[in-house]
Amino acid sequence: MPAIRKSADLRNAYSEISEFCHKYREPVFITKNGAGDLAVMSIETYEEITGKRKLYNLLEDGIKDIKNGNVLTEEEMDSSLDLM
């Protein structure tokens, strides 16, 4: 179940929100005037999420290359590795 807090809690209960984010590695959703406004998370969780997004984008690029025939033969790959 998502953690939902009022915007005033950012000031009044910052330590509690920070502790939750680090302990459970989940965001806390902040509301303003009763509506969703922000998602707060630890730096570690943010880096994990953005790292996964970058990986998924690279995998998607690779799948597109395969579908478009933009691939190397085994010999071409061996040759390019020999140059390194």
Provide block-wise average pLDDT over 10 residues at a time, the chain (84 residues): 93 97 97 97 97 98 96 89 77
- Closest of 36, 38, 26 to residue 2, by C-alpha: 26
Sign of CA dihedral 18, 24, 30, 34: negative
pLDDT of residue 37: 98
CA–CA separation, 23 vs 17, rounded Å? 10
pLDDT of residue 47: 98
pLDDT of residue 1: 77
pLDDT of residue 83: 73
pLDDT of residue 2: 84
pLDDT of residue 80: 85
